[in-house]
Amino acid sequence: MKFTIRDKLIASFGLIILLTSFLGVYSIISIKSVKDKASEITEVWSKGSDLAHNMDQTMSEYRLREYRHVLDDDPDLMNATEKELQDLREKFEEELKEYQRTIISKNDVEIVKEIKNYYPKYFEISSKTIQLSRESQTKDAFNLMCGESRQDFENVNTSIEKLVQYNQEQASLANIQNDQIYGHSRLMLMLNATIIIIISIVVTISIINIITKRINFLVKFINKTADLDLVFDQAGLNVIKRYKDEFYDMGMALANMRRTLRELVESIKQNSVDVALNSDFLSNIISETSQSIEAIAKAIDDMVQGATDLARNAEVGVNKLEGLAEEIHGSVENTNSVKSHIELASKSNLEGMENINKLKNVVESNRKVAENILDQVNVLSNRSQSIEKITETIKAITSQINILSLNAAIEAARAGAQGNGFSIVAEEIRKLAYEAADSTKEIDAIVREVKKEINKTKSEMTTVGNMVIQMDEVSKDTEKAFKTIENSASNIVKQIDRIVVSISSIDNNKNDVIGSISDMSAIAEESASTTEEISASIEQQSAGMEQINQSAKKLKHVSIELQDLIAKFRT
C-alpha cells in the first residue's frame, strides 16, 4: 500500500490538529479550574465576607439605635426607634440565615454557632433595656446597657469580627490558590504549545527533507539523461523501488525511459555499423564492376576496329576482284586471315558475353545490397520515430511534474505562512520541469536532424536502386547485342567457309563473289555500328556505376556522422 505525499501531509496536519485539540481541551479544563476557584472566591468567601460585614454593620446600627432610645424622651421618637430596632433585628437574622447558606467549612459552622448562642441573649437583654427606657427608668436602662448588655454585644461583635476575618483569610487563600492554578495552567499551556510547535516544525521539516531529497535524486537522474549518460544504475533503481509514493511512479517512468533510450541507441549504433560495412562492400563491388566495364569497353573497341578493317578489306576486295583470279592462292590466304580475325572476334565476343553475365550478377548483387541498405534505412527511420515517442513521453512527464508543482504551490498558498517553504520547493520543481522540457527539445532537435539525414539517405538509396535497375536493363540489352554479334560472326565464318569451298569457281562466279563480299561488308558495317552502340551503353553504365559509387560514399559518410552522434550517448 502506497503512503503518498498527500497522505503524509494529511497525517501531519491531523497530528497537529490532534495536538492543538488536546491543547484546547487542556486550556478549557484549566480555565474551568480558574473559573471554579474564582466562583468560590466570589460566591463563597467574598459573599461571606460581605455578609459578615453587613451583620457587623447591622449590629453596630442596632447598638446605636439602642443608645438613642435610652437617651430620647420623646415617645414618638422612641416608637420610631423601636420600629428601627425591630427591623434591624430581623435584618440581622436574615443576614445570618443568608450567611449560613454559604458555609462550606467547619470553622464557619463553629463561628456561626457562637453567634447564634450570643445574639439571642443580647437581643433579650436589649428588649429589657428598651422596656426600662420606655418606662422612663433611664438610669437602670443605661446601667443594664453598659453592663450585661455590653458584654453580650461585645461577644456577638467579637464573633462577627472573627467571621469577617476568617472570610477575608479564606478569600485571600483562595485568591493565592487561584493565582497558583492560573500560573500552573499558563505554564502548562505555554509548555504544551511549545511542544506542539516543535513537533509541527520537526514533522514539517522531515516531510520537506524527504521530498527535497527525493526530488534532488530524480533531478540527478534527469540531468544524467540530459547529458546523454544512459549507463544502467542498479543502486539508483533500488533507491527508487524503496519509495512508496508518487516519486516511485516518477522514478520508474524515468528508469523505463532510460532503458528504452539505451536499447534504441544500441540498435541505432548496430544499424549504423551495418550501413557503413554495406557501404564499403557496395563501393568495392562498384569498383570491381567499373574495372570489368572498362575491360569490356576495350574489347568492344577492338571489335569495332576489326569490323572496320573487315569492311575496308571487303571494299578493296570488290575493287580488285578482277585481280583475284590471278592471285587465287593469295585470296585463299587472305580469306583464311579474315576467318582468323572473325574467329578472334567471336572469341572476344564470347569473353564479352561472360563479362556481361558477370555484370548481371554484380548488378543483381548491387540491387540486393541496395534493398538491404534501404531496409536498414527504414529501420533507422522507425527507430527515430520511437525516439520521438520517447521524447513525447518525457514531455508528458515534465508536464505532469509541472502540474504537480502547481498543485503543491496552490496547497502551500492555502496553508499560509506554514506553506512558504513548500511553495519554494514547488517552484524549484517547476523550474526543474522546465529544464527537463528544454533538454527534451534538444533531444527532439537532434532526432529531427537524424531523421532528416535518414530521409535524405533513403532518397539517395532509392536513386541508387533505380540506377541498379537501369544497369540491369542495359546489361540485358548488351547481352542481346553480343548475341547478335555472335550470330553475325557465325554467319561470317560460314560465308568464309563457303568462299573456301567454292574458291575454285571464283573466276566463273565473280558477280556472286562481289555480291558476297558486299554482303560481308554490310554485315561488318552493321557489326561495327552495333558494337559502337554497345560501347555507348557501356559508357552510360560506367557513368551510372560512378554515381552509385558516389552515393555509396555519401551513405558511408552519413553512417559515420550517425555513429559520431550515437557515440555521444553513454550506455
CA dihedral sign of residues 380, 382, 383, 388: positive
Provide the residue ranges of all domains of the chain, joining segments of one domain with +: 5-206, 259-400+457-567
Are 521 and 314 in contact, with CB atoms under 8 Å apart? yes
CA dihedral 144, 147, 151, 152 (to 10 degrees): -10
Q: How many Å apart are CA 541 and CA 78, to the nearest integer?
A: 162
Q: How many Å apart are CA 401 and CA 201, to the nearest integer?
A: 26
pTM: 0.36
HSE-up (13 A, CA, CB side) for residue 493: 14
First to last CA, the chain: 34
* Letter string b/e over residues 490-509, b meaning 16 or more CB atoms within 10 A of that residue's CB: eebbebbeebeeebeebeee
Q: How many Å apart are CA 350 and CA 128, to the nearest integer?
A: 179
CA dihedral 451, 452, 456, 459 (to 10 degrees): 60
Q: Which fold has domain 5-206?
A: Four Helix Bundle (Hemerythrin (Met), subunit A) (1.20.120)
Are 372 and 431 in contact, with CB atoms under 8 Å apart? no
Q: How many Å apart are CA 259 and CA 265, to the nearest integer?
A: 10
Residue 481's CB is within 10 A of a number of other CB atoms, namely: 21
Per-residue model confidence as pLDDT tens for the chain (571 residues): 556 666 666 777 777 788 778 767 766 776 666 566 556 555 556 677 788 888 889 988 998 888 888 888 788 888 898 899 899 999 999 988 888 888 878 888 888 888 888 889 988 888 898 888 888 888 888 888 788 888 888 888 888 888 888 888 887 887 888 788 888 888 888 898 899 899 889 988 888 888 888 888 888 878 887 787 777 778 778 888 887 777 778 788 888 888 888 888 788 778 777 766 776 776 677 677 667 667 666 766 666 576 576 567 656 666 765 665 566 566 556 656 656 766 675 676 577 667 667 766 766 776 776 677 667 767 766 766 776 677 677 677 777 767 766 776 777 677 766 666 656 766 777 776 677 677 767 777 776 776 787 677 777 767 766 776 776 776 677 677 667 766 766 776 676 677 666 666 655 665 665 666 566 567 656 766 776 776 676 677 667 667 776 776 776 677 677 667 666 666 6
Residue whose entry in the numeric block shows the C-alpha cell 527537463: 436
Residue 24, pLDDT score: 73
Are 45 and 167 in contact, with CB atoms under 8 Å apart? yes
Are 239 and 217 in contact, with CB atoms under 8 Å apart? yes
Main-chain dihedrals φ then ψ at residue 413, nearest 5 degrees: -65, -40
Could you tell me which residues are beta bridge partners of residue 570? 229
Determine if residue 126 is left, alpha or beta; phi over 0 gives left, psi from -120 to 50 gives alpha, anything else beta. alpha
